[in-house]
Structure 1
Amino acid sequence: MRTKYLILSVLVLLATSCTKQKTKESIKGKISKQEILKDAKKIPVLNFGTFHMGFTNDENKTEFDEHDKKNQEEVHKIAKLLAEFKPTVIIVETPPSYNEKLQSLYKQYIDNPEMKFKRPDEVELLAYELGSLSNTKRVYGIDYKMSYNYNIGTQIKNEIDSVMHDAYYKNPFAFYDKIEDDRDEKSLLSKLKMMNHDQYLDFLITVNADMLTHVGTKDNFEGADEAAKYYQRNLRMYSNLNRISLNKDDRVFILMGASHTAFFRDFISRSPKYTMVNTFDYLK
């Protein structure tokens, strides 16, 4: 046992000595502070939420004509703002099984920016344009399809807290002082700014999942179990992100429906691997 402690003490002394030596060399100008801290550097992530600009199965849709020339120009203006982040990798809300096709279409778009898509969505309109402006080489999808029943509160006898549940879903925006139900009245830039604010992202987690914890029959957890499925889907999407080979020189742009952005905001904020940049440093 004494031998083990002696070895540990020697290792600590050696580590301390090396750190002091690096610090001295830094002072002499041989090694910069940035180089000393390089191993601790996290991968910067711009985690950006949007609505689905093309076809979607989502119950709540935002009115947007993806074929309208003016709308496409507005999207490209936003892509130009976000391109200042200079991502090396772009992540989108498509399944990993689609990655080969995703990358192929992206290369075609790089070669021909005037390329037309039959059913363009936020990937073709925003992600591809952003990548083209940033000279980004890699595009990946991380989606994991998984259904859940967010209407369960109206389908069973709710014996947990039907008063709160029903009042909330009758007018959810009444519970937030900085959110207004006027997404379709705003300009595209204003709409996306609103959707990326913390209070709106919190709202999306609550309205899509957490409020279901107020639903259930006696001694059961039907609502919470449905909410857990949505958490599980987002955790699996985050796991798909972690399957992608990244290094500390990468800069990652993530484009997804904003409810996924909300979950990823929470995951990334605790991550020892990633650091989240301020969206509003770019979305001006």
Structure 2
Amino acid sequence: MKNILFIIIIIVSFSCAEEKKSIEEIEIIPQANSDTISNKIPVLNFATFHMGKTSDANSTEFDENDRKNQQDAKRIAEMISKFKPTIVCVEYPTEKDSILNLEYNEFLKNSSQPVSWYGEIGLVAFPLASMSGLDKIYGIDHKMGYNYRIAGEIENQIDSVTVNNYYENPFEEYPELGSDMDTLNLLEKLKLMNHPKFLDFLIVVNADILAYAGTEDNFEGADEAAKYYQRNLRIYSNLNRIPMTPDDRVFILSGGSHTAFLREFFERSPKYEMVDTFQYLD
């Protein structure tokens, strides 16, 4: 079970024995640039790790109170501000929007001072929203538990070979993604996390691989994976509750696996069009 837990946490802290390419050598597949599309709402769907203590199991070592880290995070916000968002959404429960905006309003009173509230929300989303002249931000998260350890807790009678081989070397198909996060600066980490191949990996490791696990005539793995799909669909539904017009520009800051699922929904959306994240990470 330690192996399975490691794979889940590997979202933000991982290494691989395979020969690695540098961040610059990984081929970037551009997303559509919606600046040329008038009938859809542009969305900058941005993956991050959690830059502080959260209730999320997937966190990484990052001192949110370190001055250099705070300055680096603000530079990321400045880069993203070129997108000119009119709506900023974060991974925070929708039903706690009043708390979220109370903290944001406190930040606005002295926006020159860094705030590490809720990690990346205070460090990136607050300054970004302030730079963009916004008076509020939106939480779109919906908490739901699921058991990502299920494959190691049951006698797998579906395909234990595939499951075990995958957990043994999850980067076999994408060795170029097997970078040691501790060697990367903040910008490099975020570039890696927003790479399309890495986002694909996050869906497999968090959900799809569980469909290979189950007991005879049962679907324990698939059912747990479905819970994670459901959580992300509910996050997407929360986004759709926000009043918008075609003139809006939406920025979403969330953990990598949520970004990965949202990307799938946006690619088929009749309402939204994703912009190329890497256009704003130079």
Same fold (TM over 0.5): yes
**1:121 alignment partner, one of 116, 119, 124:** 119
Assess if the C-alpha contact under 8 Å between 1:88 and 1:138 holds in 2: no
**1:105 corresponds to:** 103
Q: RMSD across aligned C-alpha pairs, in angstroms?
A: 1.7
**1:282 corresponds to:** 280
Assess if the C-alpha contact under 8 Å between 1:178 and 1:199 holds in 2: no
1:228 partnered with 2:226: yes
1:136-215 mapped onto 2 (5 Å cutoff): 136-215=134-213
Could you say what secondary structure the match of 1:275 adopts?
strand
Assess if the C-alpha contact under 8 Å between 1:88 and 1:137 holds in 2: no
1:44 partnered with 2:29: no
Per-residue deviation, 1:78: 0.7
Decide which moves more: 87-96 or 177-186: 177-186
Assess if the C-alpha contact under 8 Å between 1:86 and 1:251 holds in 2: yes
Assess if the C-alpha contact under 8 Å between 1:173 and 1:181 holds in 2: no
**1:217 alignment partner, one of 209, 215, 218:** 215
Per-residue deviation, 1:177: 2.9
In 2, the alpha carbon distance for the partners of 1:250 and 1:270 equals: 19
Q: What is the identity, as a one-letter code, of the residue corresponding to 2:255? A: G
Could you say what secondary structure the match of 1:266 adopts?
helix
Assess if the C-alpha contact under 8 Å between 1:91 and 1:254 holds in 2: yes
Q: Taking structure 2 as the reference length, what is the TM-score of the superposition?
A: 0.84
**2:264 corresponds to:** 266
**2:78 alignment partner, one of 80, 97, 115:** 80
In 2, the alpha carbon distance for the partners of 1:57 and 1:94 equals: 11
Cα gap change, 1:211/1:47 in structure 2, threshold over 3 Å: closer, same or farther?
same
Per-residue deviation, 1:65: 0.7
In 2, the alpha carbon distance for the partners of 1:79 and 1:149 equals: 34
Per-residue deviation, 1:180: 1.1
Cα gap change, 1:218/1:147 in structure 2, threshold over 3 Å: closer, same or farther?
same
Per-residue deviation, 1:98: 1.2
Overall identity of the aligned pairs, in %: 55
**1:254 corresponds to:** 252
**2:7 corresponds to:** none
**Which of 1 and 2 has greater Rg?**
1
Assess if the C-alpha contact under 8 Å between 2:50 and 2:58 holds in 1: no
Per-residue deviation, 1:138: 3.1
In 1, the alpha carbon distance for the partners of 2:209 and 2:116 equals: 38
In 1, the alpha carbon distance for the partners of 2:215 and 2:102 equals: 50
In 2, the alpha carbon distance for the partners of 1:94 and 1:58 equals: 11
Cα gap change, 1:120/1:141 in structure 2, threshold over 3 Å: closer, same or farther?
closer
Per-residue deviation, 1:169: 1.3
Per-residue deviation, 1:134: 1.6
Could you say what secondary structure the match of 1:175 adopts?
coil
Decide which moves more: 64-73 or 168-177: 168-177
In 2, the alpha carbon distance for the partners of 1:138 and 1:250 equals: 14
Structure 1 unaligned blocks of 5 or more: 1-36
Assess if the C-alpha contact under 8 Å between 1:62 and 1:184 holds in 2: no
Give a deviation string over 1:241-265, Cα, whole Å, max 9, x none.
Answer: 0011111111110000010000000
Per-residue deviation, 1:117: 4.6
Give a deviation string over 1:201-237, Cα, whole Å, max 9, x none.
Answer: 0000000000001100111111000000000000011
Could you say what secondary structure the match of 2:102 adopts?
helix
Greater relative contact order (Cα < 8 A, sep 6+) = 2
1:54 partnered with 2:45: no
Paired residue total:
247
Per-residue deviation, 1:93: 0.5
Q: What is the identity, as a one-letter code, of the residue corresponding to 2:223? A: D
In 1, the alpha carbon distance for the partners of 2:114 and 2:183 equals: 28
Q: What is the identity, as a one-letter code, of the residue corresponding to 1:222? A: E
